[in-house]
Structure 1
Protein backbone atom coordinates (compact mmCIF):
# COMPACT_ATOMS: atom_id res chain seq x y z
CA UNK A 1 0.00 0.00 0.00
CA UNK A 2 1.67 3.18 -1.19
CA UNK A 3 2.26 5.71 1.58
CA UNK A 4 0.31 8.94 1.22
CA UNK A 5 2.31 11.92 -0.02
CA UNK A 6 0.72 14.34 2.45
CA UNK A 7 -1.06 14.06 5.76
CA UNK A 8 -4.64 12.76 5.26
CA UNK A 9 -6.58 15.50 7.04
CA UNK A 10 -9.69 14.37 5.19
CA UNK A 11 -9.78 11.30 7.42
CA UNK A 12 -10.95 13.47 10.31
CA UNK A 13 -13.38 15.45 8.14
CA UNK A 14 -15.09 12.29 6.89
CA UNK A 15 -14.99 10.53 10.28
CA UNK A 16 -16.54 13.47 12.12
CA UNK A 17 -19.05 14.24 9.35
CA UNK A 18 -20.31 10.65 9.16
CA UNK A 19 -20.65 10.20 12.93
CA UNK A 20 -22.02 13.61 13.82
CA UNK A 21 -24.59 13.61 11.01
CA UNK A 22 -25.85 10.18 12.11
CA UNK A 23 -26.03 11.30 15.75
CA UNK A 24 -27.45 14.78 15.07
CA UNK A 25 -31.14 13.70 14.95
CA UNK A 26 -30.73 12.05 18.37
CA UNK A 27 -29.19 15.23 19.76
CA UNK A 28 -31.98 17.39 18.33
CA UNK A 29 -34.61 15.02 19.69
CA UNK A 30 -32.95 14.92 23.13
CA UNK A 31 -32.99 18.72 23.47
CA UNK A 32 -36.59 18.96 22.22
CA UNK A 33 -35.95 20.48 18.78
CA UNK A 34 -36.90 17.38 16.77
CA UNK A 35 -40.34 15.97 17.72
CA UNK A 36 -39.48 12.32 18.42
CA UNK A 37 -41.25 10.50 21.24
CA UNK A 38 -39.22 9.13 24.14
CA UNK A 39 -40.00 5.53 23.25
CA UNK A 40 -38.90 5.98 19.64
CA UNK A 41 -35.80 7.90 20.73
CA UNK A 42 -34.91 5.11 23.14
CA UNK A 43 -35.36 2.50 20.40
CA UNK A 44 -33.21 4.44 17.92
CA UNK A 45 -30.37 5.40 20.26
CA UNK A 46 -28.29 2.20 20.31
CA UNK A 47 -28.60 1.42 16.55
CA UNK A 48 -27.75 5.02 15.64
CA UNK A 49 -24.75 5.10 17.98
CA UNK A 50 -23.49 1.86 16.41
CA UNK A 51 -23.88 3.17 12.84
CA UNK A 52 -22.28 6.49 13.78
CA UNK A 53 -19.30 4.68 15.28
CA UNK A 54 -18.33 3.56 11.76
CA UNK A 55 -17.27 7.15 11.00
CA UNK A 56 -13.54 6.40 11.46
CA UNK A 57 -13.92 3.40 9.13
CA UNK A 58 -15.58 5.66 6.55
CA UNK A 59 -12.66 8.09 6.87
CA UNK A 60 -10.23 5.22 6.37
CA UNK A 61 -11.81 3.93 3.17
CA UNK A 62 -12.17 7.44 1.78
CA UNK A 63 -8.45 8.08 2.32
CA UNK A 64 -7.41 4.68 0.99
CA UNK A 65 -9.32 5.49 -2.17
CA UNK A 66 -8.07 9.08 -2.39
CA UNK A 67 -4.47 9.04 -1.16
CA UNK A 68 -3.22 5.57 -2.00
CA UNK A 69 -2.48 3.49 -5.07
CA UNK A 70 -5.02 1.22 -6.71
CA UNK A 71 -5.59 -1.91 -4.66
CA UNK A 72 -5.04 -0.20 -1.29
CA UNK A 73 -8.54 -1.04 -0.07
CA UNK A 74 -8.10 -4.67 -1.07
CA UNK A 75 -4.78 -4.82 0.74
CA UNK A 76 -6.29 -3.22 3.84
CA UNK A 77 -9.17 -5.71 3.88
CA UNK A 78 -6.75 -8.59 3.39
CA UNK A 79 -4.93 -7.42 6.51
CA UNK A 80 -8.14 -7.88 8.49
CA UNK A 81 -7.83 -11.61 7.89
CA UNK A 82 -4.51 -11.74 9.75
CA UNK A 83 -5.06 -12.84 13.36
CA UNK A 84 -1.41 -13.58 14.18
CA UNK A 85 -1.37 -10.98 16.93
CA UNK A 86 0.95 -12.60 19.46
CA UNK A 87 0.20 -13.40 23.08
CA UNK A 88 0.63 -9.84 24.37
CA UNK A 89 -2.05 -8.43 22.05
CA UNK A 90 -4.46 -11.22 22.99
CA UNK A 91 -3.89 -11.24 26.76
CA UNK A 92 -2.84 -7.74 27.87
CA UNK A 93 -6.23 -6.09 27.19
CA UNK A 94 -7.94 -8.77 29.28
CA UNK A 95 -5.50 -8.73 32.19
CA UNK A 96 -4.63 -5.04 32.30
CA UNK A 97 -7.95 -3.42 31.38
CA UNK A 98 -10.00 -6.02 33.23
CA UNK A 99 -7.83 -5.57 36.31
CA UNK A 100 -7.95 -1.76 36.30
CA UNK A 101 -11.72 -1.69 35.77
CA UNK A 102 -12.24 -4.22 38.58
CA UNK A 103 -10.06 -2.18 40.95
CA UNK A 104 -11.99 1.01 40.17
CA UNK A 105 -15.26 -0.88 40.72
CA UNK A 106 -14.27 -2.44 44.06
CA UNK A 107 -11.95 0.11 45.68
CA UNK A 108 -14.56 2.69 46.80
CA UNK A 109 -16.23 0.04 48.95
CA UNK A 110 -13.23 0.36 51.31
CA UNK A 111 -14.45 3.81 52.38
CA UNK A 112 -18.15 2.98 52.43
CA UNK A 113 -19.35 3.56 48.90
CA UNK A 114 -22.22 1.18 48.06
CA UNK A 115 -21.54 -1.50 45.45
CA UNK A 116 -22.79 -0.87 41.93
CA UNK A 117 -24.37 -4.06 40.63
CA UNK A 118 -23.29 -5.69 37.38
CA UNK A 119 -25.38 -4.41 34.47
CA UNK A 120 -25.35 -7.65 32.48
CA UNK A 121 -28.26 -10.07 33.06
CA UNK A 122 -25.79 -12.84 33.98
CA UNK A 123 -22.14 -13.84 33.59
CA UNK A 124 -23.22 -16.08 30.69
CA UNK A 125 -24.03 -12.92 28.74
CA UNK A 126 -20.44 -11.68 28.98
CA UNK A 127 -18.79 -13.80 26.21
CA UNK A 128 -21.29 -12.78 23.49
CA UNK A 129 -21.15 -9.22 24.79
CA UNK A 130 -17.36 -9.18 24.31
CA UNK A 131 -17.84 -10.26 20.70
CA UNK A 132 -20.46 -7.54 20.25
CA UNK A 133 -18.18 -4.80 21.62
CA UNK A 134 -15.29 -5.92 19.41
CA UNK A 135 -17.38 -5.86 16.23
CA UNK A 136 -20.07 -3.24 16.87
CA UNK A 137 -19.77 -1.82 20.38
CA UNK A 138 -16.77 0.46 19.87
CA UNK A 139 -14.21 -1.91 18.41
CA UNK A 140 -15.26 -0.91 14.90
CA UNK A 141 -13.82 2.57 15.57
CA UNK A 142 -10.37 0.98 15.42
CA UNK A 143 -10.74 0.41 11.68
CA UNK A 144 -9.83 4.08 11.57
CA UNK A 145 -8.18 5.29 14.78
CA UNK A 146 -5.44 2.66 15.10
CA UNK A 147 -6.10 0.85 11.82
CA UNK A 148 -5.27 3.83 9.61
CA UNK A 149 -4.65 7.30 11.04
CA UNK A 150 -2.29 6.30 13.88
CA UNK A 151 0.70 5.71 11.60
CA UNK A 152 0.46 9.16 9.93
CA UNK A 153 -0.02 10.78 13.36
CA UNK A 154 3.07 9.08 14.78
CA UNK A 155 5.09 9.85 11.65
CA UNK A 156 4.18 13.52 11.98
CA UNK A 157 4.28 14.04 15.76
CA UNK A 158 6.07 11.02 17.23
CA UNK A 159 4.54 8.21 19.27
CA UNK A 160 4.00 10.12 22.53
CA UNK A 161 2.53 13.34 21.13
CA UNK A 162 0.81 11.69 18.17
CA UNK A 163 -1.20 9.41 20.43
CA UNK A 164 -1.91 12.21 22.92
CA UNK A 165 -3.34 14.42 20.16
CA UNK A 166 -5.26 11.48 18.74
CA UNK A 167 -6.68 10.78 22.21
CA UNK A 168 -7.97 14.36 22.50
CA UNK A 169 -9.48 14.23 19.00
CA UNK A 170 -11.04 10.88 19.83
CA UNK A 171 -12.68 12.36 22.94
CA UNK A 172 -14.01 15.36 20.98
CA UNK A 173 -15.44 13.00 18.34
CA UNK A 174 -17.68 11.62 21.14
CA UNK A 175 -19.09 15.07 22.03
CA UNK A 176 -22.58 14.60 20.47
CA UNK A 177 -23.12 11.57 22.73
CA UNK A 178 -23.01 13.93 25.72
CA UNK A 179 -26.28 15.45 24.51
CA UNK A 180 -28.18 12.23 23.72
CA UNK A 181 -30.64 10.93 26.29
CA UNK A 182 -29.70 7.44 27.43
CA UNK A 183 -26.05 7.69 26.39
CA UNK A 184 -23.55 6.64 29.05
CA UNK A 185 -21.46 9.72 28.24
CA UNK A 186 -24.12 11.98 29.76
CA UNK A 187 -22.98 10.76 33.19
CA UNK A 188 -19.21 10.97 32.49
CA UNK A 189 -17.33 14.22 33.25
CA UNK A 190 -15.77 15.27 29.96
CA UNK A 191 -12.41 16.17 31.52
CA UNK A 192 -12.16 12.62 32.86
CA UNK A 193 -13.21 11.24 29.49
CA UNK A 194 -10.34 13.10 27.78
CA UNK A 195 -7.94 11.66 30.36
CA UNK A 196 -9.31 8.20 29.60
CA UNK A 197 -9.12 8.43 25.81
CA UNK A 198 -5.52 9.63 26.01
CA UNK A 199 -4.64 6.69 28.25
CA UNK A 200 -6.47 4.29 25.97
CA UNK A 201 -4.80 5.82 22.93
CA UNK A 202 -1.37 5.08 24.39
CA UNK A 203 -2.37 1.59 25.55
CA UNK A 204 -4.09 0.53 22.33
CA UNK A 205 -1.09 1.82 20.36
CA UNK A 206 1.20 -0.34 22.48
CA UNK A 207 -0.98 -3.41 21.95
CA UNK A 208 -1.10 -2.76 18.20
CA UNK A 209 2.67 -2.33 18.10
CA UNK A 210 3.10 -5.61 20.00
CA UNK A 211 0.96 -7.36 17.38
CA UNK A 212 3.11 -6.20 14.49
CA UNK A 213 0.71 -3.32 13.72
CA UNK A 214 -2.19 -5.61 12.88
CA UNK A 215 -5.55 -3.84 12.84
CA UNK A 216 -7.36 -6.58 14.74
CA UNK A 217 -5.24 -5.83 17.81
CA UNK A 218 -6.92 -2.44 18.07
CA UNK A 219 -10.40 -3.87 17.66
CA UNK A 220 -9.79 -6.51 20.32
CA UNK A 221 -8.18 -4.11 22.80
CA UNK A 222 -10.93 -1.52 22.37
CA UNK A 223 -13.62 -4.19 22.48
CA UNK A 224 -12.37 -5.65 25.77
CA UNK A 225 -12.12 -2.15 27.26
CA UNK A 226 -15.79 -1.50 26.54
CA UNK A 227 -16.91 -5.00 27.48
CA UNK A 228 -15.70 -4.62 31.07
CA UNK A 229 -17.87 -1.51 31.60
CA UNK A 230 -21.15 -3.33 32.40
CA UNK A 231 -19.34 -6.22 34.10
CA UNK A 232 -17.57 -3.93 36.59
CA UNK A 233 -19.65 -0.71 36.45
CA UNK A 234 -17.69 2.41 37.29
CA UNK A 235 -20.33 4.94 36.24
CA UNK A 236 -23.39 5.68 38.37
CA UNK A 237 -26.29 6.44 36.04
CA UNK A 238 -27.55 9.34 38.15
CA UNK A 239 -27.29 12.96 37.07
CA UNK A 240 -24.94 14.96 39.27
CA UNK A 241 -23.43 11.92 41.02
CA UNK A 242 -19.84 12.37 42.27
CA UNK A 243 -18.60 9.36 40.24
CA UNK A 244 -15.63 8.32 42.45
CA UNK A 245 -15.30 5.00 40.61
CA UNK A 246 -15.16 6.75 37.28
CA UNK A 247 -12.36 9.08 38.37
CA UNK A 248 -10.35 6.15 39.73
CA UNK A 249 -10.95 4.27 36.47
CA UNK A 250 -9.85 7.08 34.17
CA UNK A 251 -6.83 7.88 36.33
CA UNK A 252 -5.72 4.25 36.25
CA UNK A 253 -6.25 4.18 32.48
CA UNK A 254 -4.10 7.27 32.03
CA UNK A 255 -1.30 5.88 34.22
CA UNK A 256 -1.44 2.52 32.41
CA UNK A 257 -1.12 4.33 29.11
CA UNK A 258 1.91 6.25 30.38
CA UNK A 259 3.55 3.05 31.62
CA UNK A 260 3.00 1.11 28.40
CA UNK A 261 4.34 3.94 26.26
CA UNK A 262 7.42 4.21 28.49
CA UNK A 263 7.89 0.46 28.20
CA UNK A 264 7.49 0.65 24.43
CA UNK A 265 10.10 3.39 24.24
CA UNK A 266 12.54 1.40 26.38
CA UNK A 267 12.15 -1.65 24.14
CA UNK A 268 12.70 0.46 21.04
CA UNK A 269 15.88 1.93 22.49
CA UNK A 270 17.17 -1.55 23.33
CA UNK A 271 16.37 -2.75 19.82
CA UNK A 272 18.18 0.23 18.28
CA UNK A 273 21.25 -0.35 20.48
CA UNK A 274 21.24 -4.03 19.53
CA UNK A 275 21.05 -3.18 15.83
CA UNK A 276 23.84 -0.63 16.20
CA UNK A 277 26.02 -3.18 18.02
CA UNK A 278 25.32 -5.80 15.36
CA UNK A 279 26.24 -3.36 12.58
CA UNK A 280 29.50 -2.49 14.31
CA UNK A 281 30.67 -6.11 14.34
Structure 2
Protein backbone atom coordinates (compact mmCIF):
# COMPACT_ATOMS: atom_id res chain seq x y z
CA UNK A 1 0.00 0.00 0.00
CA UNK A 2 1.38 3.38 -0.96
CA UNK A 3 0.07 6.73 -2.06
CA UNK A 4 0.40 7.72 -5.68
CA UNK A 5 -1.69 10.87 -5.99
CA UNK A 6 -1.24 14.19 -7.72
CA UNK A 7 -2.21 17.16 -5.55
CA UNK A 8 -1.74 20.90 -5.81
CA UNK A 9 1.15 22.29 -3.78
CA UNK A 10 -1.26 24.06 -1.44
CA UNK A 11 -3.28 20.89 -0.92
CA UNK A 12 -0.12 18.85 -0.35
CA UNK A 13 1.07 21.26 2.32
CA UNK A 14 -2.34 21.18 3.99
CA UNK A 15 -2.42 17.39 4.01
CA UNK A 16 1.11 17.17 5.40
CA UNK A 17 0.26 19.64 8.17
CA UNK A 18 -2.89 17.64 8.98
CA UNK A 19 -0.83 14.44 9.04
CA UNK A 20 1.83 16.04 11.24
CA UNK A 21 -0.68 17.33 13.81
CA UNK A 22 -2.55 14.02 13.89
CA UNK A 23 0.62 11.90 14.06
CA UNK A 24 2.06 14.05 16.86
CA UNK A 25 -1.17 13.92 18.85
CA UNK A 26 -1.57 10.17 18.47
CA UNK A 27 1.98 9.60 19.72
CA UNK A 28 3.04 12.43 22.02
CA UNK A 29 -0.19 12.71 24.07
CA UNK A 30 -0.12 9.04 25.21
CA UNK A 31 3.63 9.29 25.83
CA UNK A 32 2.99 12.37 28.00
CA UNK A 33 0.41 10.54 30.09
CA UNK A 34 2.70 7.51 30.47
CA UNK A 35 5.52 9.78 31.58
CA UNK A 36 3.43 11.84 34.01
CA UNK A 37 1.94 8.70 35.54
CA UNK A 38 5.40 7.07 35.64
CA UNK A 39 3.84 3.99 34.12
CA UNK A 40 5.74 0.71 34.06
CA UNK A 41 6.01 -0.25 30.40
CA UNK A 42 6.38 -3.90 31.36
CA UNK A 43 2.76 -3.93 32.57
CA UNK A 44 0.02 -4.95 30.09
CA UNK A 45 -2.05 -1.74 29.94
CA UNK A 46 0.88 0.73 29.72
CA UNK A 47 2.53 -1.53 27.13
CA UNK A 48 -0.68 -1.53 25.05
CA UNK A 49 -0.94 2.25 25.25
CA UNK A 50 2.74 2.56 24.34
CA UNK A 51 2.29 0.22 21.37
CA UNK A 52 -0.65 2.24 20.01
CA UNK A 53 1.25 5.49 20.51
CA UNK A 54 4.29 4.09 18.73
CA UNK A 55 2.01 3.31 15.77
CA UNK A 56 1.16 7.00 15.38
CA UNK A 57 2.61 7.46 11.86
CA UNK A 58 0.84 4.46 10.33
CA UNK A 59 -2.41 5.16 12.21
CA UNK A 60 -2.31 8.81 11.10
CA UNK A 61 -1.82 7.72 7.50
CA UNK A 62 -4.80 5.34 7.77
CA UNK A 63 -7.00 8.12 9.19
CA UNK A 64 -5.91 10.51 6.42
CA UNK A 65 -6.59 7.98 3.69
CA UNK A 66 -10.04 7.21 5.09
CA UNK A 67 -10.88 10.80 5.98
CA UNK A 68 -10.10 12.18 2.53
CA UNK A 69 -11.24 9.01 0.77
CA UNK A 70 -8.09 8.95 -1.31
CA UNK A 71 -7.32 6.29 -3.83
CA UNK A 72 -4.26 4.31 -2.88
CA UNK A 73 -2.49 2.63 -5.73
CA UNK A 74 0.49 0.44 -6.13
CA UNK A 75 2.43 -1.82 -3.88
CA UNK A 76 5.45 -1.81 -6.16
CA UNK A 77 7.24 -5.04 -6.73
CA UNK A 78 10.49 -6.02 -8.38
CA UNK A 79 12.72 -9.02 -7.99
CA UNK A 80 15.70 -7.26 -6.44
CA UNK A 81 14.37 -5.07 -3.65
CA UNK A 82 13.90 -7.66 -0.86
CA UNK A 83 17.58 -8.63 -0.90
CA UNK A 84 18.68 -5.00 -1.25
CA UNK A 85 16.41 -3.94 1.61
CA UNK A 86 17.82 -6.54 4.01
CA UNK A 87 21.44 -5.79 3.06
CA UNK A 88 21.05 -2.01 3.29
CA UNK A 89 19.22 -2.31 6.60
CA UNK A 90 21.48 -4.81 8.36
CA UNK A 91 24.93 -4.09 6.97
CA UNK A 92 26.09 -1.06 8.96
CA UNK A 93 25.74 -2.49 12.50
CA UNK A 94 27.22 -5.82 11.42
CA UNK A 95 30.15 -4.22 9.57
CA UNK A 96 30.88 -1.96 12.55
CA UNK A 97 30.88 -5.02 14.83
CA UNK A 98 33.27 -6.83 12.49
CA UNK A 99 35.62 -3.85 12.25
CA UNK A 100 36.03 -3.62 16.03
CA UNK A 101 36.53 -7.39 16.30
CA UNK A 102 33.36 -8.25 18.25
CA UNK A 103 31.92 -10.83 15.86
CA UNK A 104 32.89 -13.66 18.20
CA UNK A 105 30.57 -12.21 20.86
CA UNK A 106 27.63 -11.91 18.49
CA UNK A 107 26.19 -15.47 18.79
CA UNK A 108 26.00 -15.37 22.59
CA UNK A 109 24.53 -11.87 22.71
CA UNK A 110 22.05 -12.62 19.93
CA UNK A 111 20.91 -15.82 21.66
CA UNK A 112 20.17 -13.97 24.89
CA UNK A 113 18.24 -11.25 23.05
CA UNK A 114 16.16 -13.80 21.14
CA UNK A 115 15.45 -15.76 24.32
CA UNK A 116 14.35 -12.57 26.06
CA UNK A 117 11.92 -11.86 23.22
CA UNK A 118 10.29 -15.27 23.60
CA UNK A 119 12.20 -17.11 20.88
CA UNK A 120 12.66 -16.59 17.16
CA UNK A 121 8.94 -16.07 16.46
CA UNK A 122 8.59 -13.51 19.23
CA UNK A 123 11.68 -11.65 18.06
CA UNK A 124 10.46 -11.64 14.45
CA UNK A 125 6.97 -10.40 15.34
CA UNK A 126 8.30 -7.70 17.67
CA UNK A 127 10.88 -6.58 15.09
CA UNK A 128 8.22 -6.14 12.40
CA UNK A 129 5.62 -4.45 14.58
CA UNK A 130 7.75 -2.18 16.78
CA UNK A 131 8.79 0.49 14.31
CA UNK A 132 8.55 -0.92 10.77
CA UNK A 133 4.80 -1.62 10.44
CA UNK A 134 3.92 0.90 13.15
CA UNK A 135 5.62 3.75 11.29
CA UNK A 136 6.34 3.13 7.63
CA UNK A 137 2.83 3.41 6.20
CA UNK A 138 2.99 6.96 7.55
CA UNK A 139 6.54 8.06 6.75
CA UNK A 140 7.18 6.25 3.48
CA UNK A 141 3.55 5.56 2.48
CA UNK A 142 1.98 8.97 3.11
CA UNK A 143 4.59 11.69 3.64
CA UNK A 144 7.39 10.66 1.26
CA UNK A 145 5.34 10.52 -1.98
CA UNK A 146 3.93 13.98 -1.30
CA UNK A 147 7.34 15.47 -0.64
CA UNK A 148 8.66 13.89 -3.82
CA UNK A 149 6.05 15.70 -5.90
CA UNK A 150 7.88 18.97 -5.25
CA UNK A 151 11.32 18.21 -3.78
CA UNK A 152 14.45 16.43 -4.91
CA UNK A 153 16.25 13.58 -3.21
CA UNK A 154 18.29 15.75 -0.85
CA UNK A 155 15.45 17.98 0.32
CA UNK A 156 13.10 15.04 0.79
CA UNK A 157 15.73 13.23 2.86
CA UNK A 158 16.39 16.32 5.00
CA UNK A 159 12.72 17.10 5.66
CA UNK A 160 11.59 13.54 6.29
CA UNK A 161 14.68 12.68 8.35
CA UNK A 162 14.10 15.69 10.59
CA UNK A 163 10.40 14.87 11.04
CA UNK A 164 11.29 11.26 11.84
CA UNK A 165 13.76 12.38 14.50
CA UNK A 166 11.42 14.95 16.09
CA UNK A 167 8.72 12.30 16.38
CA UNK A 168 11.16 10.11 18.37
CA UNK A 169 12.23 12.83 20.83
CA UNK A 170 9.70 11.98 23.62
CA UNK A 171 11.11 8.44 23.79
CA UNK A 172 14.36 9.83 25.20
CA UNK A 173 12.43 11.10 28.24
CA UNK A 174 10.16 8.08 28.76
CA UNK A 175 11.66 5.54 31.20
CA UNK A 176 11.64 1.97 29.93
CA UNK A 177 12.57 2.76 26.31
CA UNK A 178 15.86 2.09 24.59
CA UNK A 179 16.25 5.77 23.75
CA UNK A 180 15.86 6.70 27.43
CA UNK A 181 18.63 4.24 28.31
CA UNK A 182 20.92 5.80 25.69
CA UNK A 183 20.17 9.35 26.82
CA UNK A 184 19.36 12.46 24.80
CA UNK A 185 22.51 14.48 25.55
CA UNK A 186 24.96 11.66 24.82
CA UNK A 187 26.94 10.47 21.83
CA UNK A 188 24.42 7.66 21.39
CA UNK A 189 21.60 10.22 21.26
CA UNK A 190 23.48 12.31 18.70
CA UNK A 191 24.33 9.31 16.55
CA UNK A 192 20.68 8.18 16.66
CA UNK A 193 19.70 11.56 15.24
CA UNK A 194 22.38 11.60 12.55
CA UNK A 195 21.76 8.00 11.42
CA UNK A 196 18.15 8.76 10.55
CA UNK A 197 19.23 10.81 7.53
CA UNK A 198 21.24 8.15 5.65
CA UNK A 199 18.57 5.60 6.64
CA UNK A 200 15.90 7.89 5.21
CA UNK A 201 17.83 8.09 1.95
CA UNK A 202 18.34 4.31 1.78
CA UNK A 203 14.61 3.79 2.30
CA UNK A 204 13.90 6.35 -0.41
CA UNK A 205 16.15 4.36 -2.73
CA UNK A 206 14.50 0.97 -2.15
CA UNK A 207 10.95 2.33 -2.16
CA UNK A 208 11.31 4.55 -5.23
CA UNK A 209 14.31 3.56 -7.33
CA UNK A 210 13.95 -0.18 -6.75
CA UNK A 211 10.14 0.14 -6.72
CA UNK A 212 9.73 -1.77 -3.47
CA UNK A 213 7.20 0.66 -1.97
CA UNK A 214 6.20 0.54 1.67
CA UNK A 215 7.04 -3.19 2.05
CA UNK A 216 10.66 -2.40 1.19
CA UNK A 217 10.80 0.38 3.78
CA UNK A 218 9.37 -2.01 6.36
CA UNK A 219 12.05 -4.55 5.52
CA UNK A 220 14.91 -2.02 5.73
CA UNK A 221 13.58 -0.74 9.06
CA UNK A 222 13.15 -4.27 10.43
CA UNK A 223 16.61 -5.38 9.27
CA UNK A 224 18.19 -2.32 10.90
CA UNK A 225 16.32 -2.76 14.19
CA UNK A 226 17.05 -6.48 14.37
CA UNK A 227 20.74 -6.15 13.57
CA UNK A 228 21.25 -3.36 16.12
CA UNK A 229 19.53 -5.48 18.77
CA UNK A 230 21.44 -8.68 18.02
CA UNK A 231 24.95 -7.24 17.95
CA UNK A 232 26.85 -6.60 21.21
CA UNK A 233 26.74 -2.94 22.35
CA UNK A 234 29.12 -0.85 20.25
CA UNK A 235 29.90 1.75 22.93
CA UNK A 236 32.15 4.46 21.50
CA UNK A 237 32.29 2.55 18.20
CA UNK A 238 28.73 3.70 17.48
CA UNK A 239 30.39 6.43 15.40
CA UNK A 240 31.80 3.68 13.19
CA UNK A 241 28.26 2.45 12.55
CA UNK A 242 27.28 5.98 11.54
CA UNK A 243 30.27 6.20 9.20
CA UNK A 244 29.35 2.90 7.51
CA UNK A 245 25.67 3.75 6.95
CA UNK A 246 26.64 7.21 5.68
CA UNK A 247 29.12 5.69 3.25
CA UNK A 248 26.45 3.27 2.06
CA UNK A 249 24.05 6.15 1.45
CA UNK A 250 26.77 7.99 -0.47
CA UNK A 251 27.45 4.97 -2.67
CA UNK A 252 23.74 4.47 -3.31
CA UNK A 253 23.37 8.17 -4.20
CA UNK A 254 26.23 7.91 -6.69
CA UNK A 255 24.68 4.80 -8.28
CA UNK A 256 21.19 6.33 -8.38
CA UNK A 257 22.34 9.53 -10.06
CA UNK A 258 24.44 7.60 -12.59
CA UNK A 259 21.45 5.46 -13.58
CA UNK A 260 18.93 8.32 -13.87
CA UNK A 261 17.43 8.61 -17.36
CA UNK A 262 19.14 11.22 -19.50
TM surpasses 0.5: yes
Q: Is residue 100 of structure 2 the alignment partner of residue 92 of structure 1?
A: no
Deviations 1:180-226 (A, max 9, x none): 11211121533211211111100011010144252211112212211
Q: Is residue 227 of structure 2 the alignment partner of residue 228 of structure 1?
A: yes
Q: Is residue 169 of structure 2 the alignment partner of residue 175 of structure 1?
A: yes
1:138 maps to which of 128, 131, 136 = 131
Q: Which residue of 2 aligns with 1:59?
A: 60
Once the two structures are TM-superposed, the CA of residue 60 in structure 1 deviates from its matched residue by 1.5
CA contact (8 A) 1:18 1:52 kept: yes
Deviations 1:152-172 (A, max 9, x none): 122233111111221111011
Q: Which residue of 2 aligns with 1:165?
A: 159
Q: Distance in 1 between matches of 2:145 and 2:5?
A: 13
Q: Which residue of 2 aligns with 1:147?
A: 141
Q: Higher relative contact order at CA 8 Å, sep ≥6: structure 1 or structure 2? A: 2
Q: Which residue of 2 aligns with 1:196?
A: 195
Identify if the C-alpha distance between structure 1 residues 233 and 182 changes in structure 2 by more than 3 Å, giving closer, same or farther.
Answer: farther
Match of 2:109, SS state, is coil
Identify if the C-alpha distance between structure 1 residues 2 and 146 changes in structure 2 by more than 3 Å, giving closer, same or farther.
Answer: closer
Identify if the C-alpha distance between structure 1 residues 85 and 132 changes in structure 2 by more than 3 Å, giving closer, same or farther.
Answer: farther
Runs of 4 or more, structure 1, over 4 Å off, are none
Q: Which residue of 2 aligns with 1:15?
A: 23
Match of 1:156, SS state, is coil
Match of 2:60, SS state, is helix
TM-score between both structures, scaled by the size of structure 2: 0.80
Match of 1:87, SS state, is coil
Identify if the C-alpha distance between structure 1 residues 132 and 98 changes in structure 2 by more than 3 Å, giving closer, same or farther.
Answer: same
CA contact (8 A) 1:202 1:258 kept: no
Q: Which residue of 2 aligns with 1:240?
A: none
**Mean Cα displacement is larger for which, 147-156 or 207-216?**
207-216
TM-score between both structures, scaled by the size of structure 1: 0.75
Q: Distance in 2 between matches of 1:123 and 1:109?
A: 26
- State which structure, 1 or 2, has the greater radius of gyration over its C-alpha atoms: 1
Q: Which residue of 1 aligns with 2:48?
A: 47
Q: Is residue 222 of structure 2 the alignment partner of residue 259 of structure 1?
A: no
CA contact (8 A) 1:153 1:163 kept: no
Identify if the C-alpha distance between structure 1 residues 261 and 128 changes in structure 2 by more than 3 Å, giving closer, same or farther.
Answer: farther
Q: Which residue of 2 aligns with 1:276?
A: none
Q: Distance in 2 between matches of 1:205 and 1:65?
A: 25
Q: Distance in 1 between matches of 2:230 and 2:195?
A: 18
Deviations 1:31-52 (A, max 9, x none): xxxxx4xxx4432564333211
CA contact (8 A) 1:126 1:231 kept: no
Q: Distance in 1 between matches of 2:241 and 2:120?
A: 20
Q: Which residue of 2 aligns with 1:216?
A: 215
Once the two structures are TM-superposed, the CA of residue 127 in structure 1 deviates from its matched residue by 5.8
Gapped runs of 5+ residues in structure 1?
Answer: 31-35, 236-242, 274-281
Match of 2:259, SS state, is helix
**Mean Cα displacement is larger for which, 84-93 or 8-17?**
84-93
